[in-house]
Structure 1
Amino acid sequence: MNRKGEYGKLVRDRIPQIIREDGAEPVTYIAGSEEYRNRLRDKLGEEVREFLEAEDAKAPEELADVLEVVHALAADLGVEAGQLEKIREAKASERGGFVDRIIWTGNR
């Protein structure tokens, strides 16, 4: 059950086909726009949790799943992947990235 008490979860587009190829018949429906955005947010949390729990060998695959959901969320917001990357670059230019591994512990 998701955060709104609804059953089911958002799955990748080919999952119903894969289920059929395995001999079962999936029960699906197409989400409306509001539900889709909410389900994407739920999926992002799910994929981030899976990344956080993954061992190093599996972490890149889980991180790619996070990125897939981020791209879907951006598209749903009307932002293309290239545009999202430009936004990320601008923020990195203004505030920096995380390459230097700086940990802030407060001010004096």
Structure 2
Amino acid sequence: MKVDYNKLVRDKIPEIIKNSGRACEYKILGKSEVRDALKEKLLEKAQVFMNKPSEDELSDIYELLDTIVEAFEYEPLHIDYLKIQNKENKGSYSEKVFLISVDDGQ
């Protein structure tokens, strides 16, 4: 039975499938295609993590973020700099602040 996936997978997945005695069809994405696929994959992985948080799923997200940085040609050190800036300007999430509402007085 053929099952359609139409999603980005890790590089070794086709080899793993073939080694299991099954056949698969895949293609190598171009620059713009992979960027769209990476964004979709990030949403997919975030949903999986929401449903069942685990270190394994979180490690997949870390790997995915590294790949996104590379695919979008971002500078990793600049990302780290922005992270530090945001933490200094807006704080972190460590205090567990949950905003209920804001009244603008109007």
| Whole-Å separation in 1 of the counterparts to 2:28 and 2:89 | 40
Alignment identity in percent? 26
Gaps of 5+ in 1: 1-6
What is the CA–CA distance in structure 2 between the aligned matches of 1:24 and 1:89, rounded to whole Å?
47
Cα distance in 2 for residues equivalent to 1:19 and 1:9: 15
Tell me the C-alpha RMSD between the 2 structures. 1.7
Query: After the TM superposition, which segments of 4 or more aligned residues of structure 1 sit over 4 Å from their partners?
Result: none
The corresponding residue for 1:25 is 23
What's 1:74 paired with? 69
Unaligned runs of 5+ in 2: none
Larger Cα-atom Rg: 2
Q: TM-score, normalising length from structure 2? A: 0.81
| CA distance in structure 1 between the aligned counterparts of 2:52 and 2:34, rounded to whole angstroms | 26
TM-score, normalised via structure 1 length: 0.80
SS in 2 for 1:74: helix
Distance 1:37 1:74 in 2: 10
Paired residue secondary structure (2:6): coil
1:99 to 2:99 alignment: no
Aligned length: 99
